[in-house]
Amino acid sequence: MTSAEDPRCVEFPQPAYPRFAGRWVLVTGAGTGFGAVLALRAAAEGANVLVHYNSSADGAHRTAAGVAAYGRQAAVLQADIRSWDDIRRMADEAWNLTGGVDVLVNNVGDIATDQMSWRQIDEAVLDRVLAVDIKGTLLMTHEFGQRMLDRGHGAIVNIGSTVVVRGSPRAPQYAAGKYGMLGLTKSYAAAFAPTVRVNAFGPGFMETESTLGREDWNGGRRERVLAQTPMGRIPAPEELAAAALWLATDDAAHMTGNFIMCDGGYSMIGA
């Protein structure tokens, strides 16, 4: 199905293979941005999708409508992933709805978008970022992973960032959070092996609505990033979604505890 046939469908630059046919995929933060694109790409590849949101209810329902437009099943789940009780409740709801989640994509992250300098850091934003990026991702991996383990199979993809290579002078707590995500990815990959695979994916800069609205992005940052990107362009999130989801496919069946980046060479040493 194409966008011409249904405006809720998204045109992706790569062919959509049925790599998730008959499987249930849960994407966190799927009401907006990269999460919404990941959910739609999974649907384009045959998945039924659980669309998670915390506060973007309207966006989550739009994403679910897009999933349904591909002829897949969709359900919307709300939870604050900073809360272990919320995560347990959502995991129980997900299992009751589906009989078992096959793939979890931990997309939710807090990048402290409004912070333009390390000088602006305070304890509140530090706690908020780490609560989402480390605590939330860890608890999601913990709760969903153990249920997958009991069921006998599953794959988890944690969405990281290239800040683990280049750092973030703008928001050091964001870089710390993503480094923490790598540690928990490797730890649970070892704990769950060989039954459940856990990997991390590091996208580079994407022209999402959030990025396009950032003060620094419109104040020369975009031009500097472009100048340092060997591929010479900054992609839309639709270009990266298939690569991220690949880690959860059978094509990556021998990969666990790994981190791969997709950033046009921005983090390449010597670039």
Catalytic residue positions?
174
User: Residue 99 is encoded by which pair of tokens?
Assistant: 């009989």
Give the number of other Cβ atoms within 10 Å of residue 9's Cβ.
Answer: 18
Q: Which residue, 71, 77, 10, is CA-closest to 40?
A: 10
Distance of alpha carbon 181 from alpha carbon 204, whole angstroms: 16
Side chain identity, residue 41: R
